[in-house]
Amino acid sequence: MTYLTVYTDSEEPETLLESEDAAEIAATLKEIDVVLRHWQVVEDLPPGAGQEEILAAYREQVERVIAEEGYTFVDVAQLHPDNSADWPERAAAARQKFLSEHTHDDDEVRYFVSGSGIFYLHVAGKVHAVLCEGGDLLSVPKNTTHWFDMGTRPAFTAIRFFHDDDGWIGDFTGSPIAARIPDFDTIAANRAARAS
Ligand SMILES: [Fe+2]
């Protein structure tokens, strides 16, 4: 289930909204032209399923999005903890990649098959931190300033949609804002505290 936190983008960010209400989240994101949809999660995908298997399980939904929005390239990105010696290093490097504010020439469209991650959308003086989980399909329009945090223990499987195969290269703004907004681990802890 999605969890949205909205902050001011000031030197000392204030929290404007925290919500787990699907309708409220969709309406809030619509105001900044970001579309959040939900697909039924396919429950019988085996753990460790590869790209072909995952795309086949969601073929109907994926084809509908491609037809409606003209994407030409779809793949699956996955990151899950393993016992290899280099996992902490790989996890930290993957997290760092898009942890600073950037834009893309293409839309950033992700369907979370499982796991979670936070997209931070910096628009009109506010930062919308959208914690996505299995079942969430988020469409961030091209040129939207944003960053992504998968946390210090990344675990997710996501289907990605592209209009061309280099549209997702990041154009970094150099803004330090990402450092002063609560990170994935902090927001996940906030949410757990609210739920208990
Ligand atoms: Fe991005």
Tokens standing for residue 192: 């757990």
Q: What is the whole-number distance in angstroms between the Cα of residue 196 and the centre of ligand 1?
A: 32
Please, what sign has the CA dihedral across residues 112, 116, 122, 125? positive
Going by C-alpha positions, the residue among 39, 36, 171, 28 that lies closest to residue 98 is: 171
Q: What is the pLDDT of residue 169?
A: 84
Note the pLDDT of residue 1: 87
| 84 Cα to the center of ligand 1, angstroms | 27
φ and ψ of 27, to 5 deg: -65, -40
Report pLDDT digits (tens) over 14-67. 999 999 999 999 999 999 999 999 999 998 888 889 999 999 999 999 999 999
Distance (angstroms) between ligand 1 centre and the Cα of 141 equals 10
First to last CA, the chain: 16
Distance (Å, whole) CA 123 – CA 173: 13
The DSSP letter of residue 153 is S
- For the residues 80-93, what does the mean pLDDT come to? 94
Residue 104, marked binder: yes
Q: What is the 60 CA–ligand 1 centroid distance (Å)?
A: 26
Give the residue among 50, 163, 65, 71 at the shortest CA–CA distance from 113: 50
> What's this model's pTM, rounded to 2 decimal places?
0.95
> For the chain, how long is the longest CA-to-CA vector?
46
Report how far residue 101's alpha carbon sits from residue 50's, in angstroms, rounded to the nearest whole number.
Answer: 30
Closest CA relative to residue 120, chosen from 173, 80, 71, 167: 173
What pLDDT digit, counting tens, does each position of 118-177 carry?
Answer: 999 999 999 999 999 999 999 999 999 999 999 999 999 999 998 877 767 889 999 999
CA of 145 to the centre of ligand 1 (A): 8
146 annotated as a binding-site residue: yes
| CA of 109 relative to ligand 1 center, distance in Å | 9
Question: Is 163 a known ligand-binding residue?
Answer: no
